[in-house]
A and B are shown apart, each in its own frame.
Chain A
Amino acid sequence: MKCALLSNVNVESIARQIERHEVHIAQGYGVWTQELADPASGTFGFGPSSVFLIIDGAELLRGERGLGPVLADVDEHLAWIERAAERSPGVKFFVSTVDVSARTLRPLKEEHAERRLEEHWNTRIARASASHANIYVFDLKEMVAQMGRSLLYSNKRWYLGGLRFSTAGEKLIAQELERILDAQRVARKKCLLLDLDNTLWGGVVGEDGVEGIQLSETGEGARFRDFQIRIRELGRMGIILGIVSKNNEADALEVFERHEHMVLRKGDFALMKINWSTKAQNIAELAQDLDIGMDSIVFIDDNPVEREAIRTALPEVTVPEFPTDSCELTSFLERVYKECFFTLESTEEDRKRTEAYLANAKRAAERTAAPSIEEFLSGLRTKVFLTRARDEDFGRAAQLTQKTNQFNLTTRRYTEQELRTLQTTPGAAVFIASVADKYGDNGKVLVSILRRVAPGTAELDTFLMSCRVLGRFIEDQILDHLVKNLRADGVSRLRVQFIPTRKNAPARSFIERLHGGLLVSDDEPGAQTWEFDISKASPVTKPSYAELLTKPVHVAEVVS
């Protein structure tokens, strides 16, 4: 893009920083109104598609004049800008707001000329922008407010070379200029996909329930509400919003339907993929349904493993890092907006885009094959540490039995004391596993309780795992390990119970992928007991992706 910079201070150093675009600056920096007034000036002769006016407020006040003449000058300057814009309708004019720091020493009661000048200029250019399609506000005042005068300005550079801004200030301004120029050339992203738990609200709805998640008008839960407000604004600018979440769909939808502090509603989203498939698969399907390229998608998820999975499987999708402090969610989204969705203006068509895509999606029926995730799972370098629950483990183990609803075969709740007793009961054993990967330690996430029910027969009384490590087949690997140990110690049959609840769909899909089971009873409504002959083969069909570390696990001692 060709652009011209006009200013009442020296902006050559800013111009030098703009590398992706051709920049013209007027010779001499007091001449900006002349340049605007003359259709044959160097500025217009250059043929720019954008003209930036970077106006230094303090310079407007130059000279020992009263405020009246200064404001009259402002009106005249603005009139020149408007005339130039009217004369060149194909050129976009970006006019800065001004910041005027109070330099005059004066009694408190005396009129504050700097503030008056600022207000006058900023009001007038907002008005000019509203009445002229090709005049835009370049919000320099906001940049000053964000960075602070002491950092954005530099006295030394001013005295040495008429450079008003510090090098940091110039970088910020140059960055904004480039953002505006890029926005006219590079297509912005079209679609924002969001996770739910710990992203749109705090906590895990499948575990905490609709009432238990963090989301409120004020207080801590407001960080998620404010985040949702910003997301809705993106939606109104024509960004297609979608949900990609590993959850029970009913649980998640209940939040959208029932939670009084939800800002985003089902209708704000073109598509929702709430299921237990991999997110890569869901995103691939979603892109096909919406008929958009992977390179127009931005994916936001609080879980680093999910982010890395998408970066690996779908490298064209933009996956911003998620803030570690959820108080920063709104400023995070402002950054995402600037980097991915920034636009000079949004059209009626933009605003209707979500509806249009929604209609397209309904027509689309084809499903793409998901990219393979095996490579990704191996790349996580997951380490699982499995042990019989020790003294220090019972507190967490009890908590897991109390809280875990999703991957939980039997949903039996135990107290810490009950687990301690079980551990010392002949014929019973409590196991706990922790999981770590290249992103860090997930802590103790899996509990398994085995009981001897008949000679040579063991039963899986409890098998549960926190959903934060779901989808990595760790549960399969642990069951496989327990089975091998049982077999080595002469146990030939394993009974696995599954008691369905409203929330444990992930446990059902686990049961369904086990191999070789015989359904021995299904007397309770929906409850099933499967029996596996483990004397020769393991019921586990999935390959292992993690490294399993164990203290010697003497399963046999207690269950055979």
Chain B
Amino acid sequence: MKERLIAIVAAALRVPTSALTLETGPGDLEAWDSLAQINVVSEIEAEFLVSIPVEQVAEIRHIRDFLGYLEKTP
């Protein structure tokens, strides 16, 4: 799941996967601005067939937080 997640985030940001770790988050890369963050959320929702509530989107600081969210979701 971790690799899949990083691949999706990399594609959404148009950066190589090597530029990302689980600790990377919005603001760490030039490409990851607030607009890109919305695209990251959309692509993860589409890939994992989940819907991340707006309230939770605001709390995401690192890629790891998505992992936490996806693992909690059945």
Residues of A within 8 A of B (CB): 10, 12-13, 16, 154, 156-157, 159-161, 163, 166-168
* Contacts known (A167-B39, A167-B46); A161 close to B34, Cβ less than 8 A: yes
Give Cα distance in the complex from A326 to B35, angstroms.
Answer: 43
Give Cα distance in the complex from A16 to B32, angstroms.
Answer: 13
Residue from the set B14, B42, B46 with the largest chain A CB neighbour count within 10 Å: B42
- In the complex, chain B residues 19-38 whose Cβ is within 8 Å of any chain A Cβ: 34-35, 38
Say whether A167 contacts B42, CB under 8 Å.
yes
B47 CB, min distance to chain A CBs, angstroms = 10
B63 CB, min distance to chain A CBs, angstroms = 18
Q: Which residues of A contact B65 (CB under 8 A)?
A: none
Say whether A13 contacts B35, CB under 8 Å.
yes
Say whether B38 contacts A157, CB under 8 Å.
yes
Say whether A160 contacts B57, CB under 8 Å.
yes
Q: Which residues of A contact B45 (CB under 8 A)?
A: 156
Q: Which residues of A contact B41 (CB under 8 A)?
A: 156, 160
Give Cα distance in the complex from A13 to B33, angstroms.
Answer: 11
B45 CB, min distance to chain A CBs, angstroms = 8
Say whether A160 contacts B46, CB under 8 Å.
no
- In the complex, which of the residues B14, B38, B51 contacts A161, with contact meaning CB atoms closer than 8 Å? B38
A471 CB, min distance to chain B CBs, angstroms = 44
Give Cα distance in the complex from A157 to B36, angstroms.
Answer: 11
B40 CB, min distance to chain A CBs, angstroms = 10
Say whether A12 contacts B35, CB under 8 Å.
yes
Say whether B43 contacts A167, CB under 8 Å.
yes
27 contacts between A and B (CB under 8 A): A10-B35, A12-B35, A13-B38, A13-B39, A16-B14, A16-B35, A154-B42, A156-B42, A156-B45, A156-B51, A156-B54, A157-B38, A157-B42, A159-B54, A160-B38, A160-B41, A160-B54, A160-B57, A161-B34, A163-B35, A163-B38, A166-B42, A167-B39, A167-B42, A167-B43, A167-B46, A168-B46
Q: Which residues of A contact B57 (CB under 8 A)?
A: 160
Kindly report which residue of chain B lies nearest to residue A170, judged by CB atoms: B39
Give Cα distance in the complex from A160 to B45, angstroms.
Answer: 14
Q: Which residues of A contact B38 (CB under 8 A)?
A: 13, 157, 160-161, 163
B18 CB, min distance to chain A CBs, angstroms = 20
Give Cα distance in the complex from A168 to B51, angstroms.
Answer: 16
Give Cα distance in the complex from A157 to B54, angstroms.
Answer: 10
Q: Which residues of A contact B42 (CB under 8 A)?
A: 154, 156-157, 166-167
Give Cα distance in the complex from A245 to B14, angstroms.
Answer: 46
A158 CB, min distance to chain B CBs, angstroms = 10
Give Cα distance in the complex from A160 to B39, angstroms.
Answer: 10
Kindly report which residue of chain A lies nearest to residue B33, judged by CB atoms: A12
Give Cα distance in the complex from A154 to B51, angstroms.
Answer: 12
Give Cα distance in the complex from A154 to B43, angstroms.
Answer: 12
Question: Beta-carbon contacts of B1-31 to A below 8 Å, as 1s and 0s?
Answer: 0000000000000100000000000000000
Q: Which residues of B contact A16 (CB under 8 A)?
A: 14, 35
Q: Which residues of A contact B39 (CB under 8 A)?
A: 13, 167
A439 CB, min distance to chain B CBs, angstroms = 33
Q: Which residues of A contact B35 (CB under 8 A)?
A: 10, 12-13, 16, 161, 163
Kindly report which residue of chain A lies nearest to residue B14, judged by CB atoms: A16
Residue from the set B38, B39, B41, B45 with the largest chain A CB neighbour count within 10 Å: B38
Question: Beta-carbon contacts of B44-55 to A below 8 Å, as 1s and 0s?
Answer: 011000010010
Give Cα distance in the complex from A156 to B51, angstroms.
Answer: 9
Q: Which residues of A contact B54 (CB under 8 A)?
A: 156, 159-160
B44 CB, min distance to chain A CBs, angstroms = 10
B42 CB, min distance to chain A CBs, angstroms = 5
Kindly report which residue of chain B lies nearest to residue A166, judged by CB atoms: B42
